[in-house]
Amino acid sequence: MNDSLHDFIRGLPKAELHLHIEGSLEPELMFALAQRNGVTLPYASVEEVRAAYAFSDLQSFLDLYYAGAAVLQTEQDFYELTMAYARLAMADNVRHVELFFDPQTHTVRGIAIDTVFSGIARALRQARAEYGLSSRMILCFLRHLSEDEAFATLDAALPLRAKYADLWIGVGLDSGEVGNPPEKFERVFARVRELGLHVVAHAGEEGPPAYVSAALDVLKVERIDHGVRAEEDAALMQYLAQSQIPLTVCPLSNLKLRVVKALGDHNLARLLRAGLCVTVNSDDPAYFGGYMNSNFIAIADALQLSREELVQLARNSFNAAFVPMSQKLIWFDELDAYQATAAAADESR
């Protein structure tokens, strides 16, 4: 595909709505933190870690992901992790990120939940002040754990709500999908909604379209994370198109975890052309081979997306963000101006 389309993608203003901060832990930082904290990793070198990134499915990835997360111990560790991501996001022209974090991955190891919040929030506030990167935090429950454990995590987080009111705006559901249907978390999500927090959930990645329907009907989520298997249910597709419930799709993740055999088989273009509010995201970029622009470029090449479709994907990402409409309008204007400038440059060529 042509270089000019790649340049167009690099300069495109965009929002990332599906990013697990623990999944942005690059092997180099993993080793540096392991050494600083005296953690022994089951790998001898950065190269060995990268070689282990040949996943067969979601679970094989999760095993490595939880091993890597063990190096994250202090507030400074979470700060450095988040700052590293923020710099890469800025380089990719990401204007806004809604970052997922998994407190249960850390509290189970004896890390205080405020340590997790504090390190992430310090980096996000600094990135906002220094680079103008807009951000929010979404606390995720691990779905392989029980609903009681989700309630305990919510109870532990709530006293921190005022302290992080500028950032923590929602709750999500992640980790091993199959066998852990949305219904398992019906009561805790009801409580979260009562508290006025936004709700999202992973569904229809490896799990069936029924999980997408249940996330909508039972958990009453405002966005679906992944959702690519919704295509198997025509009525659900119709509902998603009509309601404009956004899908946060992650192309390189789907390839790496074998949700699709090749990116050319990915249904992102079909979902977009069916009128769904589709967005492009990086999921766990350190593990899946790329951040935002890598995802955009790979899927644009594989599916021959047009410039108009790429702009639509970016517009969808701003539209799907949990921010006031006044802020969305600023980003829409920026997007229009970017598109107009690119078109004018074409004509003068």
Q: In terms of Cα–Cα distance, which of 63, 44, 41 is closest to 53?
A: 63
Q: Which listed range, 107-115, 184-192, 276-284, 331-339, lies at the site for Zn ion (CB under 5 A)?
A: 276-284
Question: Closest CB to Zn ion among 5 and 21?
Answer: 21
Q: How far apart are the first and last CA of the chain?
A: 19
Q: Which listed range, 6-14, 212-220, 281-289, 316-324, lies at the site for Zn ion (CB under 5 A)?
A: 281-289
Q: How far is the CB of 306 from Zn ion (least distance, A)?
A: 27
Q: Which tokens in the block code for residue 205? A: 């990645």
Q: How far is the CB of 226 from Zn ion (least distance, A)?
A: 7
Q: Which tokens in the block code for residue 224? A: 């679906």
- Cβ distance 266 to 251 under 8 Å? yes
Q: In terms of Cα–Cα distance, which of 326, 286, 283, 334 is closest to 97?
A: 283
Q: Does 283 bind Zn ion (CB under 5 A)?
A: yes
Question: Closest CB to Zn ion among 92 and 283?
Answer: 283
Q: Which tokens in the block code for residue 284? A: 């766990």
- State the helix-helix crossing angle for 307-319 and 3-11, rounded to 10 degrees: 20
Q: At 320, phi and psi to the nearest 5?
A: -85, -5
Question: Closest CB to Zn ion among 26 and 283?
Answer: 283
Site for Zn ion in 93-122 (CB under 5 A): none
- Cβ distance 119 to 79 under 8 Å? yes
Size of the site for Zn ion (CB under 5 A): 1
Q: Which of 75, 80, 98, 205 is catalytic?
A: 205
Q: How far is the CB of 10 from Zn ion (least distance, A)?
A: 24
Question: Closest CB to Zn ion among 20 and 339?
Answer: 20
Q: Which listed range, 53-61, 62-70, 86-94, 278-286, lies at the site for Zn ion (CB under 5 A)?
A: 278-286
Q: How far is the CB of 317 from Zn ion (least distance, A)?
A: 15
Please say if 232 is a catalytic residue: no
Q: Where are the alpha helices (DSSP H) in 99-185?
A: 103-107, 113-131, 147-157
Q: How far is the CB of 68 from Zn ion (least distance, A)?
A: 15
Question: Which residue is nearest to Zn ion, using beta carbons?
Answer: 283
The residue type at 290:
G
- Cβ distance 230 to 209 under 8 Å? yes
Q: Name 208's Cβ contacts closer than 8 Å, sequence gap at least 6.
A: 229, 232
Question: Closest CB to Zn ion among 98 and 283?
Answer: 283
Q: Does 16 bind Zn ion (CB under 5 A)?
A: no
DSSP at 39? P
Q: How far is the CB of 174 from Zn ion (least distance, A)?
A: 5
The residue type at 72:
L
Q: Which listed range, 158-166, 268-276, 279-287, 322-330, lies at the site for Zn ion (CB under 5 A)?
A: 279-287
Question: Closest CB to Zn ion among 229 and 311?
Answer: 229
d(CA 162, CA 179): 35
Judged by the rule CB under 5 A, the positions of this chain that interact with Zn ion are 283
Known catalytic residues are: 205
